[in-house]
Structure 1
Amino acid sequence: MAKLLVVDDDLELLELLAELLRIEGFEVETANNGKVCLEKLDESYQLVLLDIMMPVLNGIETLKRIRQNLSIPVMMLTARGDEIDRVLGLELGADDYLAKPFNDRELVARIKAILRRTESHTLRNEDNEKNERPTQLQFEDLVLYPKRQQAIYKERDLELTGTEFALLQSLMSNPGQALSREHLSLTVLGKSLTPFDRSIDMHISNLRRKLPKRKNDLPWFKTLRGKGYFFVGEK
């Protein structure tokens, strides 16, 4: 049973969300502002559902502080049409966002998609261990350890979020092959790509910022207009 922390200052909505998610089989804890969220949060939680507009400590500042210590998946709840908050949340390492008001089924589906992605990495690598296959992926000085979702470059932890790691692993597993934004949205984010959805682009931007400069000055990724992204191999 996955343990979730739901954070929202609207107490009526908070209780409704908690009840809905408990009915869906989740273990749910709640917080009515960012300060309480940070006080409660630890590694026992599998996902944080975080509202942006809150008193005491808003969702953006709360996300900043979460990312200083934890890579736990975070889904932001944003006001409909508030593009700035969505982009800023993604830049700071949010895994996904959902605009209010939202459909209950879509919320549950998004949560399950994030959890399924995280669990799939663990299960895949448990199978690899049983079959005595390598449990790491390496290219030049960049090494991915899927079991613990950790990316290391020259012995330095790049501190990727779960979504950033999954995106990098998908691209790095297919060097030189263009993967469409639609494909990446489905396989990494677990959702169909919608018009004006910039989630994948923002996660790529975060990866470009976090990955160090390559020794041969080649970029890590290239963008193919109208096709998507690909991981750049050797010349």
Structure 2
Amino acid sequence: MAQEQGKILIIEDDPDIRTIIKQLLSGENYQVSEAESAEEGLPLLDEDTDLVILDIMLPNMSGLSACEKIRETSNVPVLFLTAKSQESDKLIGLMAGGDDYLPKPFSYAELLGRIKALLRRYRVYRGKEDSAGKEKAESSHLRFGDLSLDTTFNHVEKGGEACTLSDIEYRMLRLMMQHPNQIFSAQMLYETIWNEPYFYTCSNTVMVHIRKIRKAVEDDPNNPKRIRTIWGKGYQFETHSGN
């Protein structure tokens, strides 16, 4: 008998898509459970679940809200499925705690590739956590040098001292720290954090908040080492400089 590859939970309201994914994964020797809504699916999540495939556009409770619920108790990888393909929608999913994003329609080869990559990363992560004896709650802390962000209590410290940030600024910093060295355009940041359509004048709003974040987290805000401006592209939380 072939070895089981892992336990996957599918939460998808389209019965055809759900059935096809289940058949595909079962054929690859994954143990699969399924649900048509977040309310039905969340109780199926347990400590043995290795991956959740989650549709964003669910009835009643959305996939984004379901992912936030999952993140209250579990670090299991979440792969979002959605008919939306805008880059800002992807970032909204990542902000909610998702690990990857696959727009519909998708190829089965791409779906399997994403699943296998997420499972590999999760197994490495769990192995490190187990060997170090760390508690799951520790994963709520993002640390780079003397900068620490606690996603559970929405708290930022630099050198052990609390940083004063507005909610908008906290969310911007959290997004960038969760994806270090990734370049975020002003439009990507605005549409993700403000959840509103972007106009060219909005870049000034983003710039003002970036300036405030720098005052809180940089040793020298006029010569930033963490929140870098990538001219013509956007902003980046830099880690290569040793921070």
User: TM-score band (shorter)?
Assistant: 0.5 to 0.7
Counterpart in the other structure of 2:115: 111
| Paired position in structure 2 for 1:174 | none
Gaps of 5+ in 2: 153-175, 193-209, 211-215
Letter in 1 for 2:65: E
Alignment of structure 1 residues 38-53 onto 2, 5 Å: 38-53=42-57
Find the counterpart in structure 2 of residue 230 from structure 1: 238
The reply on whether 1:69 has 2:66 as its aligned counterpart is no
**How many residue pairs align between the two structures?**
179
1:186-206 deviations in whole A, cap 9, x for unaligned? xxxxxxxxxxxx7xxx8xxxx
Distance (Å, rounded) in 1 between the aligned partners of 2:89 and 2:178: 27
Quick one: which of 28, 32, 38 aligns to 2:36?
32
**Secondary structure of 2:57 counterpart:** coil
Superposed CA RMSD in Å reads 4.1
Q: Is the 8 A contact 1:80 1:101 kept in 2?
A: no
Counterpart position of 1:93: 97
CA distance in 1 between counterparts of 2:43 and 2:127 reads 31
Cα 1:221–1:21 change in 2 (3 A) is farther
Partners of 1:94 and 1:148 in 2: CA distance: 17
**Counterpart-to-counterpart distance in 1, 2:12 and 2:110:** 18
Moved more, 13-22 or 38-47: 38-47
The question of whether the paired residues in 2 share the 8 Å contact of 1:121 and 1:146 is answered with no
Larger radius of gyration between Structure 1 and Structure 2: 2
Structure 1 gaps of 5+ residues are: 130-134, 137-144, 161-166, 172-178, 182-197, 203-207
For 1:41 and 1:28, the matched residues in 2 are separated by 11
Q: Corresponding residue for 1:158?
A: 150
1:8 to 5, 8, 12: 12
Determine if contact 1:46/1:72 at 8 Å carries over to the other structure.
yes
Identical aligned residues as a percent = 31
Structure with the greater relative contact order (CA < 8 A, sep ≥ 6): 1 or 2?
A: 1
Q: Counterpart of 2:104 in structure 1: which amino acid?
A: K
Offset, 1:22: 1.1
What TM-score, normalized to structure 2?
0.58
TM-fit CA distance, 1:7 = 0.8
Q: Is the 8 A contact 2:56 2:64 kept in 1?
A: yes
Change over 3 Å in CA distance of 1:84–1:94 after alignment to 2: same
Q: Do the aligned residues in 1 keep the contact of 2:226 with 2:237 (CA within 8 Å)?
A: no
2:199 equivalent in structure 1: none
Matched, 1:58 2:62: yes
What stretches of structure 1 move > 6 A for 4+ residues in a row? 145-149, 167-171
In structure 2, the CA distance between the partners of 1:47 and 1:100, relative to structure 1 (3 Å rule), is same
Query: TM-score scaled to structure 1, two decimals?
Result: 0.59
Shift in alpha-carbon separation, 1:69–1:100, aligned structure 2, 3 A: same
Tell me how far apart the structure 2 counterparts of residues 112 and 98 of structure 1 sit (CA, whole Å). Answer: 14
Separation of aligned partners in 1, 2:62 and 2:129: 37
